[in-house]
Amino acid sequence: MNDERILIRRAGPLRGEVAIPGAKNSVLKLMAATLLADGTSTLTNVPDIVDVGIMGDLLAAIGVRSERVGPDTVRMVNDGNISPVAPYELVERIRASINVLGPLLGRFGRVSLSLPGGDDFGSRPIDMHLKGLEAMGATFELRHGVVEARAERLHGADITLDFPSVGATENILTAAVHAKGTTVIDNAAREPEIADLCNFLVAMGAHIGGIGSSTLVIEGVEPGQLHAADHQVVPDRIQAATYLAAVAVSGGEVVLRGARADHMEMLLRRFRDMGLSITTIGGALDGSDAGGGLAVWAEGRLRSIDVATLPYPGIATDYKPLIVTMLAVADGVGIVTENLYPGRFRYVEELQRLGADIRADGHHAVVRGVPQLSGAPVRAPDIRAGAALVVAGLAADGETSVAGVHHVDRGYDDLVGRLAALGADIERVDAPA
Count of residues in contact with ligand EPU, rule CB under 6 A = 25
386 touches ligand EPU (CB under 6 A): no
Rounded to the nearest whole angstrom, what is the least distance from the CB of residue 212 to ligand EPU in the complex?
Answer: 16
Rounded-to-10 torsion of CA 116, 195, 19, 276? -100
Report whether 369 contacts 333 (CB < 8 A).
yes
Q: What are phi and psi of 157, to 5 degrees?
A: -155, 160
In angstroms, give the least distance from the CB of 128 to ligand EPU: 3
Write the CA distances from 384 to 331, 344, 347, integer angstroms. Answer: 23, 10, 9
DSSP 8-state code for residue 302: P
Q: Which stretch binds ligand EPU (CB under 6 A): 8-16, 165-173, 267-275, 284-292?
A: 165-173
Examine residue 313 and say whether the peptide bond preceding it is cis (omega within 30 degrees of 0).
Answer: yes
Which residues sit opposite 67 in a β-bridge? 75
Residue with the shortest CB distance to ligand EPU: 167
The answer to whether 321 contacts ligand EPU (rule: CB under 6 A) is no
Among 87, 341, 357, 425, binds ligand EPU (CB under 6 A): 341
- Residue 27 CB coordination number (10 Å): 27
Task: Residue 147: name the closest of 107, 102, 114, 188 by CA.
Answer: 114
Give 66's strand partners. Answer: 76
**Closest CB 382 distance from ligand EPU, rounded Å:** 6
- Give the CA radius of gyration of the chain: 21
| Shortest distance in whole angstroms from residue 125 CB to ligand EPU | 4
Report how far residue 174's alpha carbon sits from residue 163's, in angstroms, rounded to the nearest whole number: 18
One character per residue 187-216, x = contact with ligand EPU (rule: CB under 6 A): ------------------------------
45 binds ligand EPU (CB under 6 A): no
The answer to whether residue 383 forms part of the interface with ligand EPU (CB under 6 A) is: yes
Is 338 near ligand EPU (CB under 6 A)? Answer: no
Sheet holding 14-19, edge to edge: 14-19, 252-257, 293-298, 277-281
Q: Given the complex with ligand EPU, which of 44 and 317 has the nearer CB atom?
A: 317
Site for ligand EPU in 246-265 (CB under 6 A): none
Task: Using CB under 6 A, pick the residue from 68, 75, 124, 150 that binds ligand EPU.
Answer: 124
Q: What is the CA angle 223-88-224, rounded to 5? A: 10
Q: Is 286 a catalytic residue?
A: no
Question: Which of the following is catalytic: 51, 119, 318, 413?
Answer: 119
Residues recognised as catalytic? 119
Note the residues at the interface with ligand EPU (CB under 6 A).
Answer: 24-25, 28, 95-96, 119, 124-129, 163, 165-168, 316-318, 340-341, 383-384, 411
